[in-house]
Chains A and B, each alone.
Chain A
C-alpha cells in the first residue's frame, strides 16, 4: 500500500504546507519533524518558484524569501534526504511546471522518488496537460495529484476517474490565502467526486482556523493548510518551530473530533 493511501486510512488527514528554505533549510527540517510530532498525516513541501501564479501574497513572499536565501531544487533534494532519515509521513512536492520541466522531468521524478517523495502537486498543470508529467510519475511510482475547483463542474468526473493519491479540492475562487468565509458548495463538489472514484479528497485554499478545518473535515477526507502556517514562519522566522507545532496540534485535534 502506498504511504499516501495509508495516511488517509488512519482517519481525517491534516496536511500542512511548508515552503522549503523559508527562512532557511535547517528550519524547514526542524519544522518537518515538529509537524509530524504534532500529528500531521502528510506534508506538502513547496519548492519555491519565482512567479507562483496560484499563490496569494503570503506564499508569494515566502517563495521570494527562500529564493533570495539561495535555495535551489538540488539543495531541496538534499534537505528531503535528511528529512527522510527521521520523518515517516508521506511527503509531496508542491511546485510549478517549469521547476520540474527545466530540471528534466524524468531526472526530477527519478531523484524525488529515490529520496522518498510520494507525490507531486503542480497547480499550473491541469488535466489537459498532465501528459507531460503523469506517465513519468507512474513509471517511478509516485502520484501526480489532480485538482478540482468550484468552477470545474462537469470536468469533475473526468478528472476524478483518473486521479491518484488524493484529489486536491480548491475550496474557493482565487488564489491561496486565508479567508474568513468559504462560500463554495463543497458538498456538491465532493458529491460529484464520490460518484466517480474512491480516491480520497482533501480541501485546501483559505483554511486557517480550527473551526473551518473541523467543518471541512466533516465534508471530506482531509484538510490542507498553507498560508496560515507560512504566516507564522514569516512572523517568527527561525524561532517559528514551537509556534507551528502548537498550531498544527490544534488543527489536527479540531479535525479529529
Chain B
C-alpha cells in the first residue's frame, strides 16, 4: 500500500519523463519544400573540349532534414527532363532523342536518399538512388546545409558518368567529342513545408 508521499512521487514520474524527453529528444527533421524561383539544378557537360551548362528548369524536391535527426532525414527529387535548356536549340533537340534522354520513354529522372544520412562538417552525405533513363545508380551525395532562420540552403556538386545511365552509348561514347564526366550543381533554397 502506498503512502501519500509515495503516491505523490509516482504521480511525478510522467511529468519528469516528459520534461526529460523534451530536453533530450533531438529535433525532428524539418520538412522543407523548394523555392523554385531561387533554386537551381544545373549540369555542366563537355562538348568538343568546351563546357556547356544545362538547366533543369522544372523539378520538385521534398527535403526532410535535421542535423541531429539524420536517420529520419530524407531527400526526394523528381526532375522533368523535358525542361532542360542548354542554350542551344539543336543540342536541346538532340537531348530529346533516344541517344540521350529519350523524352518519349523516360521524361523523368528521380533522386531518392536511401537509409540514414551521415554527418559531415557542414552538412551530410546521403546515399541515394539516382534514376535516369530507367537506369538506377546508387551514388554518394555530399551536400552543405546552411540554415538561415526558417529557410535554408542546400548546396551540392557531384560528378556523374553519363555512360552509367546509357546516355550517348555506341558511337556517341567517344569521350573526346562529348565528355563522359558531367558535373551536377545543386542549389536549393528551402522553406518549411506548409502542413
A and B associate in one complex: no
Interface set of B (CB-CB < 8 Å, partner A): none
